[in-house]
């Protein structure tokens, strides 16, 4: 009972004879390996085949799991409508996966289906499997814009659901490798393409699933990989399990990488809880990571790290609210996750003010949330509250994942009380931030921002942020900030 085996497979439509029309012979090694995998699945006779596909419905902040009783599909998009499928979904196991995801705080479920037809990332594996094995229902799961840790965590939920339902399951992680292996390929060449392929196939051969969590975004993006998050979900579904790994093939002759491997469980292994171990290592590293000399930035960073790694900042808030940050004449904020002490100025414990926390990663904005006026008991708690919001609740971005923590640059802006003005002439983009109000709509822009060089630009951007049309009358306020970096 449980996951009988997992398989890492590609999904190029041209591998299907009715589509390739002879071109598929250029990847004969991949076809032969696929046939072996399909034969092994047929021997296992799974009740359910779970397929994770990069080409199923995908959302930035949600894992879509196909709803309903089943779905049909064909390769008509690729000129072969005669190759079709009619699959039945395992509704019981699917609902259990959704239940486990909700319990574990993962945004996943059956909502938002835009296109019920099967996608080619699902159908290519099924073409090989169904020629040898007609039994078993399927579950189709899409990827998301979340980080690798969240994909691994979804895999853990799948494992729990499979174990609880007692299903015999084969897991098929559909995904191509780099799309930039050859100059003549459809996507051209990038030096990181072969690097990615070599690295992921090495990881697959050793079943070193923990290393999948350490792939840098820059590498994955430059290599234009397709299936990495699919493979990570599969790794999570084998969490805590010792596996026998085998690589069947790896080809890149079309300019796109196709890798095939199998993973057979052979027993439990407490050393293979890779996400848990990586989280523990990140917690342990908090005290030895980036140091911020500014106490305002240090508090914001500690809050972000603590919240993302532990899910709460209760201890952090208690230090502030209960006066535990005071130590005779020295004001101390004790870092709950590592025990490292940092000084907090008296102002942070006694002053009330609005504050903005801005987070950048590799020079790009990753989150920015703040308050114009104070909403909490003191400035320190204002920073804690807004650091959490900036890192996890900015509607423009997905929540920051644990794997991103070491790459973050954080700044804190403490706002003066806003002052009403009667003319844009009293603004200065370097000195003053602006608040633009029209009825119940309001937009704010901080001062001294890159790319904002004139008052006209500043006001126009603030209007857009507040949803205020150019013709609507406005009231202006200005404020100053003390920026901590």
Evaluate whether residue 279 is within a structural domain: no
Q: Which of 70-84, 279-293, 358-372, 447-461 has the lowest mean pLDDT?
A: 279-293
CATH number where 452 lies = 3.30.1490.150
Evaluate whether residue 280 is within a structural domain: no
pLDDT at 333 (0 to 100):
39
Inform me whether the pLDDT recorded for 338 exceeds 70: no
User: Final residue of a domain: which of 213, 243, 272?
Assistant: 272
User: Final residue of a domain: which of 414, 442, 465?
Assistant: 414
329 with 439, same domain: the answer is: no
441 with 459, same domain: the answer is: yes
- C-beta separation of 370 from 386 below 8 A: yes
Q: How confident is the model at residue 337 (pLDDT cuts 50, 70, 90)?
A: very low
Evaluate whether residue 186 is within a structural domain: yes
Dihedral in degrees, nearest 10, Cα atoms 279, 310, 159, 262: -20
205 with 240, same domain: the answer is: yes
pLDDT at 286 (0 to 100):
65
Evaluate whether residue 445 is within a structural domain: yes
18 with 142, same domain: the answer is: yes
Q: How confident is the model at residue 288 (pLDDT cuts 50, 70, 90)?
A: low
Q: How confident is the model at residue 287 (pLDDT cuts 50, 70, 90)?
A: low
First to last CA, the chain: 54
Domain total in the chain: 3
* Higher-scoring residue by pLDDT: 266, 284: 266
Task: Summarize pLDDT for 375-413 with one digit per residue, the tens.
Answer: 999 999 999 999 999 999 999 998 999 989 988 999 999
pLDDT at 293 (0 to 100):
86
Pairwise CA distance, residues 354 & 417, whole Å: 8
Q: Which of 236-240, 307-311, 322-326 has the lowest mean pLDDT?
A: 322-326
471 with 406, same domain: the answer is: no
Evaluate whether residue 402 is within a structural domain: yes
Q: How confident is the model at residue 189 (pLDDT cuts 50, 70, 90)?
A: very high
Q: How confident is the model at residue 327 (pLDDT cuts 50, 70, 90)?
A: very low
pLDDT at 324 (0 to 100):
54
pLDDT at 300 (0 to 100):
94
- Which pair of structure tokens corresponds to residue 311? 């899910």
233 with 325, same domain: the answer is: no
45 with 175, same domain: the answer is: yes
User: Final residue of a domain: which of 366, 399, 414?
Assistant: 414
Which of 146, 50, 151 is CA-nearest to residue 94?
50
122 with 265, same domain: the answer is: yes
Return the residue matching tokens 């230090």.
Answer: 319
Task: Summarize pLDDT for 112-130 with one digit per residue, the tens.
Answer: 998 999 999 999 999 999 9
The whole-chain average pLDDT of the chain stands at 92
183 with 91, same domain: the answer is: yes
- Which pair of structure tokens corresponds to residue 158? 């799948």
pLDDT at 311 (0 to 100):
81
pLDDT at 303 (0 to 100):
93
Question: Quick check: helix, strand or coil at residue 256?
Answer: coil
135 with 174, same domain: the answer is: yes
Q: Which of 152-156, 264-268, 347-351 has the lowest mean pLDDT?
A: 347-351
Evaluate whether residue 277 is within a structural domain: no
- The upper half-sphere exposure of residue 306, i.e. CA atoms within 13 Å in the direction of its Cβ, equals 24
Evaluate whether residue 282 is within a structural domain: no
Q: Which of 77-91, 109-123, 309-323, 420-434 has the lowest mean pLDDT?
A: 309-323
DSSP 97-165: HHHHHHHTT--EES---S--SPPHHHHHHHHHHHTT----EEEEEE-BSS-HHHHHHHHHHHHHHHHHH
134 with 151, same domain: the answer is: yes
Inform me whether the pLDDT recorded for 226 exceeds 70: yes
Print the domain residue range for 375: 287-414
Q: What is the side-by-side order of every strand in the sheet holding 330-334? A: 326-327, 330-334, 341-343
Evaluate whether residue 447 is within a structural domain: yes
CATH number where 342 lies = 3.30.700.20
Across 256-268, average pLDDT? 98
385 with 402, same domain: the answer is: yes
pTM of the model: 0.85
Inform me whether the pLDDT recorded for 249 exceeds 90: yes
CATH number where 266 lies = 3.40.830.10
């Amino acid at each position: 009972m449980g996951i009988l085996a997992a398989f890492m497979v590609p999904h190029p439509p041209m591998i299907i004879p009715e589509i390739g029309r002879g071109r598929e012979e250029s990847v004969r090694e991949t076809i032969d390996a696929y046939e072996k995998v399909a034969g092994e699945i047929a021997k296992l006779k799974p009740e359910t085949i779970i397929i994770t596909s990069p080409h199923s419905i995908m959302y930035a902040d949600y894992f879509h799991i196909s709803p309903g009783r089943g779905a049909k599909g064909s390769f008509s998009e690729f000129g072969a409508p005669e190759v079709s499928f009619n699959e039945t979904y395992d509704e019981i196991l699917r609902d259990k996966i959704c239940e486990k995801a909700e319990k574990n705080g993962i945004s996943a479920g059956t909502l938002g289906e835009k296109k019920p037809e099967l996608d080619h990332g699902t159908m290519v594996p099924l073409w090989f499997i169904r020629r040898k094995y007609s039994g078993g229902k399927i579950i189709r799961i899409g990827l998301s814009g979340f980080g690798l840790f969240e994909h691994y965590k979804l895999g853990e939920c799948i494992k729990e659901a499979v174990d609880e339902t007692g299903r015999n399951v084969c897991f098929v992680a559909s995904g191509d490798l780099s799309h930039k292996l050859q100059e003549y390929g459809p996507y051209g060449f990038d030096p990181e393409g072969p690097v990615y392929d070599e690295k992921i196939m090495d990881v697959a051969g050793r079943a070193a699933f923990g290393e999948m969590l350490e792939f840098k975004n820059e590498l994955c993006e430059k290599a234009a990989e397709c299936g990495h998050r699919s493979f990570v979900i599969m790794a999570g579904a084998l969490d805590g399990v010792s596996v026998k790994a085998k690589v069947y093939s790896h080809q890149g002759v079309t300019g796109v990488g196709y890798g095939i491997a199998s993973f057979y469980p052979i027993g439990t292994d407490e050393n293979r809880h890779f996400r848990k171990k990586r989280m523990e290592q990140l917690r342990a590293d908090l005290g030895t990571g980036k140091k911020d000399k500014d106490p305002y930035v240090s508090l914001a960073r500690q809050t972000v790290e603590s919240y993302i790694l532990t899910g709460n900042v209760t201890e952090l808030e208690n230090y502030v609210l209960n006066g535990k940050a005071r130590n005779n004449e020295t004001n101390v904020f004790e870092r709950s996750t590592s025990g490292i002490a940092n000084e907090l100025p008296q102002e942070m414990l006694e002053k009330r003010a609005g504050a903005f926390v801005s987070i950048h990663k590799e020079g790009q904005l990753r989150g920015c949330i703040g308050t114009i006026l104070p909403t909490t008991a003191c400035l320190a708690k204002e920073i804690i509250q807004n650091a959490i919001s900036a890192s996890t609740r900015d509607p423009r971005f997905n929540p920051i994942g644990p794997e991103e923590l070491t790459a973050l640059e954080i700044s804190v802006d403490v706002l003066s009380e806003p002052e009403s003005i009667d003319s844009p002439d009293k603004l200065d983009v370097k000195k003053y931030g602006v608040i633009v109000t029209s009825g119940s709509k309001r937009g704010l822009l901080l001062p001294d921002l890159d790319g904002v060089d004139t008052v006209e630009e500043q006001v126009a951007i603030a209007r857009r942020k507040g949803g205020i049309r150019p013709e609507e009358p406005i009231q202006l306020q200005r404020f100053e900030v003390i920026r901590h970096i």
